[in-house]
Amino acid sequence: MTATAIRHDWSLQEINELFALPFNDLIFRAQGVHRQHFDPNEVQVSTLLSIKTGACPEDCKYCPQSGHYNTGLEKEKLLEIEQVVAEARAAREKGASRFCMGAAWRSPTKKDMPYVTEMVRQVKSLGLETCMTLGMLNDDQATELADAGLDYYNHNLDTSEKYYSHIITTRTYQDRLDTLERVRSAGMKVCCGGIMGMGEDSDDRSGLLMQLANLPHHPESVPINMLVKVAGTPMEDVEDLDPFEFVRTIAVARILMPNSHVRLSAGREDMNDQMQALCFLAGANSIFYGEKLLTTANPEADHDRQLFNRLGIRPEERDVNHTEDEHEEALVNALEEERNRHLFYDAAQIA
Ligand code: SAM
Ligand code: DTB
Ligand code: SF4
């Protein structure tokens, strides 16, 4: 078995061809890639906290926090640092290894920065990895966050470039790409993905994955969200996506970005255990853990613990920032182990 090449030059046609594989072949291939790069029985666990809720000036049609729609959400000012740290400590006690703080902002203001950087410092001092999602950043803000020790910045592209203006009109795709570039240049790890089931077509799902996979560096973390339909948003009645199409999206993300953590992100509350197991089989190896996402429900932590036990999945201790060389070495060791154990057939046979 040869190592999966890390590519940044995928064409839409190649990606569409992966999506079009018979389901079993696609999953087999994705699982093969997954086993070359990760322990297949480990899943990274993050907990989310909304540090500033609602009244967002952006008009993202999926979002309960946009001030453009009436979703009945109670808005909140930026939380006190002590409250954020207390929530982070509680998440750590429950077993999270990363704490993600989200704000309903278009961008942080100058006045917000000392608060959010202090949150990073204090949450990090608990031994947790830190992630923030605060909207668009300028160069100085990206540097300030990196200097505070922020590990990850989440900034989703959400969908393809072609479908973007159907979903959001208050910013452009290029705005998003610019922030991603600033986050990278400042030295932080990138968390970037999208939402499925927003009425997009299959080219849009391929187009999003093409954008992500053809970035100069793959995002370390790729959240694949299933739309949570919230009453009052323009997307409340959008047609359901075929769940197998969602699983396929995870499988293709796994194949295109072998070293990235692919997160089975929002939408698990509406998925049964079997569907989630299929997503793990397709190569998802990260989840949000804890009863709440930002403003909507997530499965009970107890239920997730039981699901992990039933599937023999262990929470990943910490996300280690492997270089591509280290991955290469880890890969050789993992392959050797697989060969010795005769656990898996050569996925390349099907490729
Ligand atoms: N305001 C910042 C931004 O947009 O980057 C950070 C917070 S925003 C809520 C983070 C991400 O949550 C969005 O980019 C979107 O992908 C996801 N999201 C928001 N509402 C969602 C929904 N109803 N279903 C699934 N994902 C959603
Ligand atoms: C991501 O891709 N999904 C998370 C996180 N990154 C910030 C947010 C999901 C939000 C779902 C709707 C809500 O709870 O408000
Ligand atoms: Fe605001 Fe982010 Fe929601 Fe868009 S996704 S409305 S930017 S909170």
Q: Is the pLDDT of residue 333 over 90?
A: no
pLDDT for the residue numbered 332: 42
Q: Is the pLDDT of residue 33 over 50?
A: yes
What angle in degrees, to the nearest 10, is found between the helix axes of 202-213 and 243-256?
20
Q: What is the pLDDT of residues 177-193, one digit of tens each?
A: 999 999 999 999 999 99
Using CA positions, which residue lies closest to atom 6 of ligand 3? 66
Would you list which residues are annotated within the binding site for [4Fe-4S] cluster? 56, 60, 63
Q: What is the pLDDT of residues 220-263, one digit of tens each?
A: 999 999 999 999 999 999 999 999 999 999 999 999 999 999 99
Ligand nearest to the CA of 229: 1
Gap between the Cα atoms of 207 and 212, Å rounded = 9
- Tell me, using a 6 A CB cutoff, whether residue 252 lines ligand 2: no
- Tell me, using a 6 A CB cutoff, whether residue 133 lines ligand 2: yes
DSSP string, 201-256: -HHHHHHHHHHHHTSSS--SEEEEEEP---TTSTTTTPPPPPHHHHHHHHHHHHHH
**Mutation test residue for ligand 3: of 53, 58, 265, the one with most atoms within 8 Å of CB:** 58
Residues 12, 206 contacting (CB under 8 angstroms): yes
